Amino acid sequence: MIDRYAALLDPARVGLGTDVFVEITLVGQDEATLDAFEVAVAERPEIMSCHLMAGGFDYLVHVVVRDVADYEVLHRTHLAQLPGVARMVSSFALRPICDRTAIPVGRTGG
């Protein structure tokens, strides 16, 4: 059941206090486009998570950076250059409300 062990750093204390959530739409949904995008995303250390989505965009990417200026550089030099990217919409988090790492094993809703 255990996937991996990790130490969780405080992003702000290591100079990465800005969370950005990026909705990415690709030019197409073919296997080659999806695979190329996913391989490239996995190589960027600033990308904390990337989820293939159903709905109005293809991927939701969570990025950590120092500040808005740092994100602008990342956006121009890496995110916009990812294979197959047609559109990106970036949202800056003001603060986390809930940020869990524990999976609710054995709990039921209601």
Q: What is the pLDDT of residues 28-81, one digit of tens each?
A: 999 999 999 999 999 999 999 999 999 999 999 999 999 999 999 999 999 999
Residues 26, 84: contact at Cβ < 8 Å?
yes
Assessment of whether the complete model's pTM goes beyond 0.85: yes
Handedness of CA 102, 63, 5, 1 (dihedral sign): positive
For the CA atoms of 49, 52, 58, 63, the dihedral, rounded to the nearest 10 degrees, stands at 0
The answer to whether 60 and 52 are in contact (CB under 8 A) is no
CA distance 44 to 20: 14
Residue 100, helix vs strand vs coil = coil
- The structural domains of the chain, ordered by start, are 14-92 (3.30.70.920)
